[in-house]
Structure 1
């Protein structure tokens, strides 16, 4: 989710990026496995804040904007390195790829609040990750 950094290991900057991206993208689809309380997943804090408070609350809007910008910056940098290493396609810019991933993770987070077909969500994530593969 936007607060989670995507980066290759400091110990091994050549570590593949796509498995890490897939792990982050699957979190909203797997909330029922990851939450400690029994019940319907409630989505992520940033996604919920966006849906419920933005744009009426200026402070919430600033926090959300900063979170989305930071997610996109971190993912863009990681994708740029992965493109240079030949792991990720260079058919589109790392910035556009990072924006797409932000929209996917936030969309899944929002949909998870109403329940979702986990296998369909994971198949969609796999498709997105496969499209990034060089």
Structure 2
């Protein structure tokens, strides 16, 4: 049987793929073992187990792992939520807390507030076009 065809408990969630990609990006600066240690995993192999989809990422490890991976903790949290109960758990969290906003999106919101003198501007057709123009859409 081919290694990639083995079914794992959490292998079908987005987190293992994201971890693999981010760890590869970090490779010039940190080893996977260093990342695991910085995230506070007592067993350095635990990160490999999570990356392989054989275990879920505990929510209490999200902040430290995000710091070790130098990534947005909100994104990592959403990916970890998917492992807990799939889309229904994520939907419940979004219904309770609203849209989870990334660090970059927070910076955009803060800039909009500053530029509007904190007047809570409506998203007009002109403003929507300007934003879409920034992204070439």
Do the two structures share a fold, i.e. TM-score over 0.5? no
Q: Which structure is higher in RCO with an 8 Å CA cutoff and minimum separation 6?
A: 1
Greater Cα radius of gyration, structure 1 or 2: 2
> So what's the TM-score if we normalise by structure 2?
0.26
Instruction: Give the TM-score of the pair, scaled to structure 1.
Output: 0.26
